[in-house]
């Protein structure tokens, strides 16, 4: 390859190209490639990198969308970290949500994947059906449906009354329960990790289990000593992805609390608080600072996850 490049550069390259210098030559040679890349490049620079850098700048300003940004240095960050009780509330709600929803969702996804891995008939159909909530899960429609289900006169309470004669509370209006209905909604969206777990389970050679069977290991020991350790790369991947998703969760809380984060801030997800600051109070600078703190939290979490992975994730090679 290197030899080929050298031949091209010294002998076969047209004279016009050589005169324009190396950069021009590379650009011309790869023009078709860049044309194909253009939509992505436009999207990345215009919709991701550009706004991200803009928000970084804005996080050091006061900006209300109407007047020019006013540079305030680190004041937004200082206020968020030292003098913002709503930030603390949002952090508490978000961390509770992450800590509860991620492990429960992964456990549920793994359980369903293991059931599917037993080679049941119609697996493809079931897999599609079970994956459906994940496709719809973040949508407004599903959040509205969830709101209807868990309302005081919703289907859940009707079922509880019909089956057990128990009069359930208004799950989404009660600060003691509201967050947990959102956790349940998150668990219900187990399709994506389930599909990945299923693929991971399929990768474990059956003769591992047969060897364990010959060694006298029962199902439980096989699960804890063979399945779980061999699935750790997949658990790690799902864990990181789902945790990031959970930190970023917005739509369910927005719909169920009608954008308030209530009752009594019990569903005030971090992103919802950020949204309120940005589009409720038009404090774009402050909201940008909140966004960058979330970026730092997620980055730290991801970095620590990767650092810790070497102690519990088993890679075959």
Partner 1 sequence: MASGITLEKIQKRYGALPVIHGVDLKIEPGEFTVFVGPSGCGKSTLLRMIAGLEEISGGELRIDGERVNETAPSKRGIAMVFQSYALYPHMSVYKNLSFGLETAGMKKPEVDARVKKAADILQIGPLLQRKPKALSGGQRQRVAIGRAIVREPRIFLFDEPLSNLDAELRVQMRVELSKLHQQLGSTMIYVTHDQVEAMTMADKIVVLRDGRIMQAGRPLDLYNDPANQFVAGFIGSPKMNFLSAKLDETDASHRTIEIAGQRIELQKPLAAREGEPLTFGLRPEHIQPQDNALSLGSASVQLVEHLGGSTVVYASTQDGQPATVLLEGQRPIRIGETIPLSFHPSKSHVFGQDGRRVC
Note the residues at the interface with partner 1 (CB under 8 A): 205, 207-208, 210-217, 221, 225-226, 229-230, 232, 314, 316-317
* Least Å from the CB of residue 226 to partner 1: 7
Q: Using N-to-C axis directions, what is the helix angle for 155-164 and 140-149, rounded to 10°? A: 30
* Least Å from the CB of residue 155 to partner 1: 43
Q: Which is nearer to partner 1, 295 or 309 (CB)?
A: 309
* Least Å from the CB of residue 206 to partner 1: 9
Please report, for residues 39, 46, 93, 101, 225, the alpha-carbon distance to residue 181 in angstroms, rounded to integers and kept in the order given.
Answer: 40, 37, 13, 10, 34
Q: Which is nearer to partner 1, 234 or 255 (CB)?
A: 234
Bridge partners of residue 70, in order along the sequence: 62
Q: Which is nearer to partner 1, 95 or 223 (CB)?
A: 223
∠ at Cα 152 (147, 157), nearest 5°? Answer: 95
**How many of the other CB atoms lie within 10 Å of CB of 10?**
9
Q: Which residues contact 148 (CB under 8 A, 6 or more apart)?
A: 154, 155
* Least Å from the CB of residue 218 to partner 1: 8
Burial annotation 157-168 (CB, 10 A radius, 16+ → b, else e): beeeeeeeeeeb
* Least Å from the CB of residue 236 to partner 1: 13
Q: Which is nearer to partner 1, 11 or 317 (CB)?
A: 317
* Least Å from the CB of residue 203 to partner 1: 11
Q: Which is nearer to partner 1, 6 or 207 (CB)?
A: 207
Q: Which is nearer to partner 1, 104 or 230 (CB)?
A: 230
């Amino acid at each position: 390859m290197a030899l080929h490049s050298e031949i091209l550069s010294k002998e076969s390259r047209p004279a016009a190209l050589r005169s324009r210098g190396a950069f021009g030559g590379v650009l011309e040679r790869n023009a078709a490639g860049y044309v194909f890349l253009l939509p992505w490049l436009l999207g990345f620079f215009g919709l991701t990198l550009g706004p991200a850098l803009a928000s970084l700048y804005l996080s050091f300003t006061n900006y209300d969308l109407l007047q020019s940004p006013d540079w305030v240095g680190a004041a937004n960050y200082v206020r968020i970290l030292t003098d913002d009780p709503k930030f603390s509330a949002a952090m508490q709600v978000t961390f509770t949500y992450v800590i509860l929803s991620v492990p429960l969702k992964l456990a549920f996804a793994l359980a369903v994947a293991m059931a599917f891995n037993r080679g049941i008939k119609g697996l493809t159909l079931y897999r599609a059906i079970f994956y459906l909530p994940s496709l719809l899960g973040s949508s407004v429609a599903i959040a509205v449906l969830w709101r209807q289900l868990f309302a005081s006169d919703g289907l859940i309470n009707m079922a509880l009354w019909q089956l057990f004669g128990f009069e359930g509370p208004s799950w989404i209006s009660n600060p003691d329960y509201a967050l947990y209905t959102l956790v349940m909604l998150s668990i219900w969206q187990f399709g994506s990790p389930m599909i990945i777990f299923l693929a991971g389970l399929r990768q474990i050679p059956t003769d591992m289990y047969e060897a364990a069977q010959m060694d006298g290991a029962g199902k439980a020991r096989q699960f804890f000593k063979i399945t779980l350790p061999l699935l750790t790369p997949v658990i790690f991947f799902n864990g990181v992805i789902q945790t990031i998703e959970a930190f970023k969760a917005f739509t369910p809380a927005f719909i169920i609390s009608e954008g308030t984060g209530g009752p009594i801030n019990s569903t005030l997800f971090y992103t919802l608080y950020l949204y309120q600051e940005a589009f409720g109070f038009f404090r774009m600078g402050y909201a940008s600072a909140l966004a960058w703190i979330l970026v730092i939290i997620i980055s730290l979490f991801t970095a620590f996850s990767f650092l810790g992975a070497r102690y519990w994730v088993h890679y075959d090679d």
